[in-house]
């Protein structure tokens, strides 16, 4: 009987618990320091118990950022999954290695991921497997981009991913909040593979208009901050693929807003002092994030569009398209479904000890056919056929 512990009882952690519980012999613990999150998790999972009437859950309120508490919590489990803010993933990784527990997370931050991978020797000595940077993008996007490119004749791989409201928002930002900190994606630079060379490009940038099959209106897509460096580097070293990048999909008009924010300095993370006798200071990015969080409406019905184009000499060689819509019956959002199913698949592979000890990224460790087979099984069990569509995979 596999024992899972999920750090973080927010929307991702709750969805993950639901998907793991479909196998009735699993024991699942959810942990969060926020009693409101834990209470909401308990309520939502109880509401979905028809899918797993014999599900074995436990809920805990404690400080997951304290290393000593964290080790005690993890001890005795088979797999630890972090659904925490990405800043806490490295500490959770170290705690899992110390307790001899396999580990995976949702990733995002390249520097943290590199630090996790640097623990590979320690993990190997402890008999532990560490797999950071799962989810939909990064995660499934990297798995499919890298592995499918090895199977076909192509020289360019272009990834498009976006979590959006199902109807075009009418607010000034042309966006409704679907998941997480929107502005974090629009800060810094993004490494891409361009004509066989790695290039760091400021974000947001490289806007293009995008048509997606099944949608009457065009979208826009542009480079944002995403954890794709590992795949870009592997493509560069391999030599076959000379173009690789991932762009974020948004409704037309959003790019103009965030570009103006960047140009006006609102995305700067440098502290600045205000004029005046009190010498008060602010961080523009923190202010902008707070304003967006307060003002932007929360999305009630979202969707996830995921497209990868494989090209050879500028001609389409293969297209993968996945569209996921929120599920009114279960209350799960499209972003919950899309991000948590790949993590559940990796966590189950870890529990079954299908991966050798050490630290690696999922694209270099788990087969894309296995991932997609389990992805489709989970969708078939939980959702009506019209909510999730697959093309080319």
Domain boundaries, the chain: 3-133, 137-251+297-325
* CA angle in degrees (0–180, nearest 5) for 99-30-67: 40
As a 3-state breakdown, the chain gives helix, strand, coil percent values, each rounded to 5, of: 40, 25, 35
Distance (Å, rounded) from C-alpha 140 to C-alpha 136? 5
| Residue whose entry in the numeric block shows the structure tokens 């066989």 | 196
Give strand pairing partners of 281: 273
CA distances from 130 to 90, 153, 228, 299, 345 (A): 11, 31, 18, 33, 14
Residues 6+ apart with CB under 8 A from 282: 271, 272, 274
CATH superfamily placement of domain 3-133: NAD(P)-binding Rossmann-like Domain (3.40.50.720)
Region class of 39: left (phi > 0), else alpha (psi between -120 and 50), else beta:
alpha
CATH 3.30.360.10 fits 137-251+297-325, yes or no: yes
Give the pLDDT confidence score for residue 385 in this predicted structure.
87
Give strand pairing partners of 250: 220
Residues 6+ apart with CB under 8 A from 307: 159, 160, 161, 212, 319, 320, 321, 322
| CB atoms closer than 10 angstroms to residue 110 | 19
| CB atoms closer than 10 angstroms to residue 301 | 15
Give strand pairing partners of 168: none
Radius of gyration of the chain (CA): 21
| Structural element, H or E, at residue 220 | strand 219-223
Residue 359, classed as helix, strand or coil, is: strand
CA distances from 286 to 147, 257, 272 (A): 38, 17, 12
| Residue whose entry in the numeric block shows the structure tokens 């948004």 | 250
* CA atoms lying within 13 Å on the CB side of residue 81: 33
Give the pLDDT confidence score for residue 24 in this predicted structure.
65
Give the pLDDT confidence score for residue 274 in this predicted structure.
87
User: pLDDT by residue for the chain (393 residues), tens digit each?
Assistant: 899 999 999 999 999 999 999 876 899 999 999 999 999 999 988 888 777 777 789 999 988 888 888 999 999 999 999 999 889 999 999 999 999 999 999 988 889 999 999 999 999 999 999 999 999 998 999 999 999 999 999 999 999 999 999 999 999 999 998 876 789 899 999 999 999 999 999 999 999 999 999 999 999 999 999 889 999 999 999 999 999 999 999 999 999 999 999 999 999 999 998 887 677 899 999 999 999 888 889 899 999 999 999 999 999 999 999 999 999 999 999 999 999 999 999 999 999 999 999 999 999 999 999 999 999 999 998 999 889 999 999
């Amino acid at each position: 009987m596999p024992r899972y512990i999920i750090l973080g009882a927010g929307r991702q952690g709750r969805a993950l618990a639901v998907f793991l519980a479909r196998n009735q012999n699993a024991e699942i613990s959810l942990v969060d320091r926020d009693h409101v999150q834990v209470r909401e998790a308990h309520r939502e999972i109880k509401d979905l118990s028809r899918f797993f009437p014999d599900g074995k859950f436990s809920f805990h309120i404690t400080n997951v950022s304290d290393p000593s508490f964290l080790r005690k919590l993890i001890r005795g489990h088979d797999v630890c999954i972090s659904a925490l803010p990405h800043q806490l993933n490295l500490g959770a990784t170290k705690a899992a290695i110390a307790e001899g527990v396999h580990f995976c997370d949702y990733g995002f931050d390249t520097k943290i991921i590199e630090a996790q991978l640097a623990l590979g020797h320690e993990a190997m000595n402890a008999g532990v497997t560490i797999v950071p940077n799962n989810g939909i993008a990064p995660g499934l996007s990297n798995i499919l981009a890298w592995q499918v490119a090895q199977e076909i004749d192509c020289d360019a791989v272009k990834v498009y991913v976006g979590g959006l409201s199902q109807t075009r928002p009418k607010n000034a930002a042309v966006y409704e909040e679907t998941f997480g900190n929107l502005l974090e994606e629009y800060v810094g630079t993004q490494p891409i593979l361009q004509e066989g060379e790695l290039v760091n490009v400021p974000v947001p940038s490289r806007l293009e208009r995008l048509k997606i099959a099944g949608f009457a209106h065009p979208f826009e897509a542009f480079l944002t901050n995403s954890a794709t460096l590992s795949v870009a580097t592997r493509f560069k070293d391999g030599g076959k693929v000379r173009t690789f990048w991932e762009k974020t999909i948004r409704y037309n008009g959003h790019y103009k807003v965030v570009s103006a924010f960047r140009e006006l300095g609102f995305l700067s993370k440098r502290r600045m002092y205000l004029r005046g006798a009190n010498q008060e200071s602010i961080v523009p990015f923190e202010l902008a994030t707070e304003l967006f969080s307060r003002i932007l409406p929360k999305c009630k019905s979202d969707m996830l569009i995921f497209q990868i184009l494989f090209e050879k000499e500028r001609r389409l060689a293969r297209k993968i398209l996945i569209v996921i819509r929120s599920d009114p019956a279960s209350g799960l959002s499209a972003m919950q479904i899309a991000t948590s199913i790949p993590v559940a698949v990796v966590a189950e592979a870890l529990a079954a000890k299908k991966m050798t000890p050490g630290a690696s990224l999922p694209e270099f460790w788990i087969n894309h056919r296995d991932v997609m087979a389990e992805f489709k099984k989970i969708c078939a069990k939980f959702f009506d056929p019209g909510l999730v569509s697959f093309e080319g995979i």
